[in-house]
Amino acid sequence: CVLSLQKREISNFDYLMYLNTLAGRSYNDYMQYPVFPWVLADYHSETLNLTNPHTFRDLSKPMGAQTVERKHKFIQRFNEVEKNLSAQCHYCTHYSSAIIVASYLVRMEPFTQTFCSLQGGSFDVADRMFHSVKSTWESASRDNMSDVRELTPEFFYLPEFLTNANHFELGCMQDGTVLGDVQLPPWADGDPHKFILLHRQALESDYVSAHLHRWIDLIFGHKQHGSAAVEAVNTYHPYFYGDKMDLNSIKDPLIKSTILGFISNFGQIPKQV
C-alpha cells in the first residue's frame, strides 16, 4: 500500500482512511473516529498558493509544537510534572475524541444530538462552539494550551457540515455574532464547496504527499509513544494509551472505572500500525 501511495496509485485521503481502519478507528465509534491532519496553515490569504511551503502546516510536528513558544511550554510541562498531573506527559487533552468529532459536525444529525448529550442536554457556550476554521486552527496550533485537536475526514469531502441548513439555534457570541454557518477562510469566498475542493487539493498536493509520512509516524507509527514520542514532543496522558494498559491487573473497580471513563470521554491513541 505504501508503494501504491508513492506511485500515486491511491490518494492520500484513501491511504489515511486505510491506516485509520488498520488502527481500529471507524465512523461507527465517535471515541475512535478516523483522525485526519490539519494540512494548511494559511487561513487568511485571499488566494491559496499550494506551491508555497509556508502555506502548509508542519506535518513533522504535533499540534502542540507548531510554534516554538508553545512547544517550549509543553516541554516545560513535561519536565516539571505539574502538581495537578498524575503522570508525566506533554498533553492532558487529546487530538481526537467524541466531543471533538461531535463539535465539528454539530450542524448535522445525528451529531447534533450526540453533541447536546455530551454537553448535558444543550449546546455549549457559543464562544466555545466550532464557528470558524481560522479561529479553530489558531486555537489548536497556537493559542489554547488545552487544545491540540486534529481534523475529521469530513473536512476533505463534505461541504454540508459547514452550513447550518437545519437552522439550529446555536447561540450568540459575546461580540454579538449569531452562530450559523461556519466562517470560512477568505480563499474559499464563503463557499463551502470551494473550501472542500481546495482543502482536498491541499491534502493531495505535492508538499503534503512528500511530508505526510512524518505525521503518520506521530499518530500511527513509531513516534506515537516511548522515547521517540518524548523527543518529538508527542506524549499524552497514559490513560489515552488504552491498548498499552493492562486493565485486568487493576483490582480497584473505582480506578478501573475511572480509567475507562477517561478513555471513553477524552480520546484514545490509535493502535500502532
Please report where in the chains the cell 473497580 appears, as a residue. 253
Q: What is the reported pLDDT for 237?
A: 86
Question: How many angstroms from the chain centroid is the CA of residue 19?
Answer: 16
Per-residue pLDDT of the chain (273 residues; tens, 9 = 90+): 555 555 667 899 999 999 999 999 999 999 899 999 999 999 999 999 999 999 999 999 999 999 999 999 999 999 887 555 567 899 989 999 999 999 999 999 999 999 999 888 888 888 889 999 999 999 999 999 999 999 999 999 999 999 999 999 999 999 888 999 999 999 999 999 999 999 999 999 999 999 999 999 999 999 999 999 999 999 998 888 866 666 666 777 777 677 666 666 677 899 898
Could you give all domains of the chain from N- to C-terminal order, each with its CATH number?
Answer: 10-264 (1.10.1540.10)
Q: What is the reported pLDDT for 87?
A: 77
Grid cell digits, residue 190? 464563503
Q: What is the reported pLDDT for 68?
A: 97
Q: What is the reported pLDDT for 243?
A: 62
What single letter denotes the amino acid at residue 72?
H
Q: What is the reported pLDDT for 6?
A: 58
Question: Rounded to an integer, what distance in angstroms lies between the CA atom of residue 142 and that of residue 140?
Answer: 6
What three-state secondary structure class fits 188? helix
pTM (two decimals): 0.90
> Which residues, in sequence order, are bridge partners of residue 236?
91
270 burial type by CB count under 10 A (0-12 exposed, 13-18 middle, 19+ buried): buried
179 burial type by CB count under 10 A (0-12 exposed, 13-18 middle, 19+ buried): buried
What three-state secondary structure class fits 178? strand
